[in-house]
């Protein structure tokens, strides 16, 4: 287990006084003034004193400093600059901050900070008067005699959710000691952030922001449920390497507002926005969600979920799973459609990958050949992009499953090379690991390694439908049929609209077939055929299930269809098509196909 990372730092918490009142009075004007203060005063002050902005929290901020002296110097300088900016403004329009400051040990998680010290700083901020600063005794001891400021002892304060009393001091200073020249408005330099009214450039992969869900219940206690659910959705989507997901703190800057979705897209630099609402009625709760194209305002997906408040956390998990399972494929398809419209001469590695995926979904021999060509082209354009390696390996896996192999030794060697490269450079790319693992299993016979790579992918992203699908296929092949049904059922639940669900459906069919449940097998094979009528697997399963159930005439219809698609298919060649490991499973398929009339 990785050791917890910690460090000693000064943490500054700032918040706007009466922000809700100001927004209620003049939403657009307040937001514009707040942005101006951040850009003209707050950010330059942090830069001068070495502060690192950890997060913005709507109307507030959390900042880390390596030095308590720098932290307090920045706090005084900023409050003094705000006082000067507000001198000519009416009190009911002026934006005024409170600041709290603490020095202590922090838990480090990526760019974020956690721990008791963060909470102490936030609670001290709440104790500050408007325009003032309250610091802990630890900060006061570190800065005494080193800054032009005095300290009023506020005694030991009992702070909310802090177990021990905290000695606190109010900070006072002479304005003449802390005058700062106003930051001039200038033309941004190269590499500087764009002005607030200039849209952020879109990332080179699907980008999404999940806005706080509106609490329509009239019950503030339900905020925790709605916020927790949105945080879970953001976390789950963030596990998809193929997505660019806006962090929680930026998304939650819109909490309590009804922003224009197009404006959100411009401000956050995202192509898609997910929004929703929560409504409580009696003992029931109703959650709605909708996915919107931020550029056009078009609705791409919407759904509603209802459940009992008796098990609210189970409902929260169910909604998260359903939303993520629906949104991820919708984003994939929207991006594929966009790439297909792009001129060929302007394709980059990601566009080539998306066009390859579009060809995969067509499920013909020629489309798989074109997909393989596009995946190789994506690799040429960006050798460090892991997913095309995995998808190229999957093309060879498909060739093996469908009897399209041309040179088995060369294709096995190339599959091993591609899978090795995908797993080496894509250690955090769950999709690349999934296809690398399955291809090693199916083409190269490396059963343990292949299954382990897929398990690794699912540990990275337990919401990855493709991972559960491929793991379920492996379980069917090795004869773990009940386990396979659970895994494949999870894949179908996570991604009910996936264009490749026929692969899950046909393997569910075979799992039932091998346990003698022929009606269930036929039911699932029929579902697969509805989605892909020319794929051999569901045709073969339908022929076998009908034959073993005594429906010989019906079975022969499927055999005829198989021979139309592949005139060379014979019993003697079935080793090219039948991957199953248990002798009894293989014998069941052979018996059924003989009864169904497949030539020897």
pLDDT given for residue 188 in this prediction: 34
* CA 83/CA 39 separation, integer angstroms: 16
- Measure the CA–CA gap between 335 and 244, rounded to whole angstroms: 13
User: Whole-model pTM?
Assistant: 0.53
- The pLDDT value recorded for residue 475 is 93
Instruction: Give the Cα separation of 526 and 554 in Å (integer).
Output: 13
Residue of 495, 397, 480, 399 whose CA lies nearest to 507 = 480
3-class secondary structure per residue, 185-217: CCCCCCCCCCCCCCCCCCCCCCEEEECCCEECC
DSSP string, 34-84: HHHHIIIIIHHHHHHHT-EEEEEETTEEEEEES-HHHHHHHHHHHHHHHHH
Q: Which two tokens stand for residue 327?
A: 């949104």
Distance (Å, rounded) from C-alpha 101 to C-alpha 65?
10
C-alpha Rg value of the chain to the nearest Å: 30
Work out whether strand 244-245 and strand 207-210 pair parallel, antiparallel, or are unpaired.
parallel
CA 215 – CA 286 distance, rounded (Å): 10
The span from the CA of 171 to the CA of 133, in Å, is: 6
Spell out the residues 6+ positions from residue 137 whose beta carbon is closer than 8 angstroms to its own.
166, 167, 168, 169
Least Cα distance to 410 among 399, 421, 401, 402 occurs for: 399
First to last CA, the chain: 56
Q: What are phi and psi of 159, to 5 degrees?
A: -105, 145
Q: Which CATH topology does 5-178 take?
A: Alpha-Beta Plaits (3.30.70)
Which of the four CATH numbers 3.40.1160.10, 3.40.50.10610, 3.90.1010.10, 3.30.1330.90 does domain 207-326 have?
3.40.50.10610
DSSP 581: -
* 254: phi then psi, degrees, rounded to nearest 5: -95, 5
Superfamily the domain 463-600 falls into: Tetratricopeptide repeat domain (1.25.40.10)
Of 474, 492, 557, which Cα lies nearest the Cα of 522?
557
Closest by CA position to 97, among listed 180, 175, 19, 25: 19
Quick one: tokens of 150?
A: 């005095």
Query: Is residue 372 within 8 Å of residue 399, measured between CB atoms?
Result: no
Domain ranges of the chain: 5-178, 207-326, 342-446, 463-600
Q: Tell me, what's the pLDDT at 198? A: 53
Same fold, 207-326 and 342-446: no
* Domain at 342-446: CATH architecture: Alpha Horseshoe (1.25)
Work out whether strand 272-281 and strand 214-215 pair parallel, antiparallel, or are unpaired. parallel
Q: Average pLDDT of each block of 10 consecutive residues along the chain (600 residues)? A: 69 90 78 83 82 80 87 93 83 87 82 81 92 94 88 90 88 84 38 46 76 77 70 74 71 78 83 83 78 80 76 68 68 64 61 80 83 89 86 88 83 90 83 88 87 87 82 92 91 70 90 93 88 82 93 91 86 78 92 91
């Amino acid at each position: 287990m990785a050791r917890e990372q910690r460090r000693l730092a000064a943490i500054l918490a700032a918040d706007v006084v009466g922000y809700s009142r100001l927004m209620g009075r003049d939403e657009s004007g307040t937001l514009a003034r707040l942005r101006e203060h951040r850009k003209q005063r707050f950010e330059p002050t942090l830069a001068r004193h070495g502060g690192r902005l950890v997060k913005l929290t709507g109307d507030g901020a959390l900042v880390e400093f390596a030095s308590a002296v720098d932290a307090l110097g920045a706090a005084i300088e900023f409050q003094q600059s705000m006082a000067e900016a507000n001198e000519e403004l009416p009190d009911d329009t002026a934006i005024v901050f409170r600041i709290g400051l603490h020095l202590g040990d922090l838990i480090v998680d990526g760019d974020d900070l956690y721990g008791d010290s963060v909470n102490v700083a936030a609670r001290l901020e709440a104790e500050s008067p408007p325009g003032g600063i309250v610091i802990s005794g630890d900060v006061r001891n570190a800065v005494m005699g080193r800054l032009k400021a005095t300290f009023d002892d506020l005694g030991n304060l009992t702070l909310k959710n802090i177990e021990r009393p905290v000695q606190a001091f109010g900070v006072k200073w002479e304005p003449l000691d802390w005058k700062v020249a106003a930051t001039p408005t200038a033309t941004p330099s190269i590499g500087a952030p764009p002005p607030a009214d200039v849209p952020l450039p879109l990332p080179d992969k699907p980008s999404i922001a999940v806005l706080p869900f509106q609490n329509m219940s009239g019950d503030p206690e339900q905020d925790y449920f709605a916020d927790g659910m949105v945080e879970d959705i953001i976390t789950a989507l963030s596990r998809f390497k193929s997505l660019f997901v806006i962090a929680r703190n930026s998304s939650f800057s819109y909490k309590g507002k009804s922003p224009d979705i197009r404006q959100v897209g411009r401000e956050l630099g995202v192509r898609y926005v997910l929004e929703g609402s929560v409504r409580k009625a009696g003992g029931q709760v109703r959650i709605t969600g909708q996915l919107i194209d931020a550029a056009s305002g078009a609705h791409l997906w919407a759904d509603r979920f209802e459940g009992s408040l008796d098990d609210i956390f189970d409902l929260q998990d169910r909604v998260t799973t359903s939303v993520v399972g629906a949104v991820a494929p919708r984003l994939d398809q929207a991006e594929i459609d966009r790439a297909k419209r792009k001129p060929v001469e302007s394709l980059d590695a990601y566009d080539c990958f998306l066009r390859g995926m579009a060809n995969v979904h067509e499920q013909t021999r020629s489309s798989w050949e074109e997909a393989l060509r596009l995946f190789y082209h994506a690799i040429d354009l960006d050798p460090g992009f892991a997913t095309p390696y995995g998808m190229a390996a999957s093309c060879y896996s498909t060739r093996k499953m469908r009897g399209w192999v041309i040179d088995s030794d060369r294709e096995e060697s190339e599959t091993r090379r591609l899978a090795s490269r995908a797993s080496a450079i894509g250690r955090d790319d769950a999709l690349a690991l999934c296809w690398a693992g399955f291809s090693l299993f199916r083409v190269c016979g490396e059963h343990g390694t292949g299954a382990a790579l897929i398990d690794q992918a699912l540990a990275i992203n337990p919401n990855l439908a493709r991972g559960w699908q491929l793991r379920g296929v492996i379980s069917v092949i090795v004869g773990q049929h009940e386990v396979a049904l659970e895994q494949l059922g999870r894949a179908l639940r996570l991604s009910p609209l996936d264009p490749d669900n026929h692969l899950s459906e046909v393997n569910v069919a075979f799992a039932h077939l091998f346990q003698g449940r022929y009606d269930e097998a036929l039911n699932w094979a029929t579902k697969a055929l509805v989605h892909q009528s020319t794929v051999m697997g569901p045709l073969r399963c339908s022929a076998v299930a009908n034959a073993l159930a005594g429906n010989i005439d019906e079975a022969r219809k499927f055999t005829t269809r198989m021979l139309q698609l592949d005139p060379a298919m014979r019993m003697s060649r079935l080793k090219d098509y039948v991957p199953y490991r248990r002798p009894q499973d293989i014998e069941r398929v052979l018996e059924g196909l003989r009864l169904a009339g497949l030539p020897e």
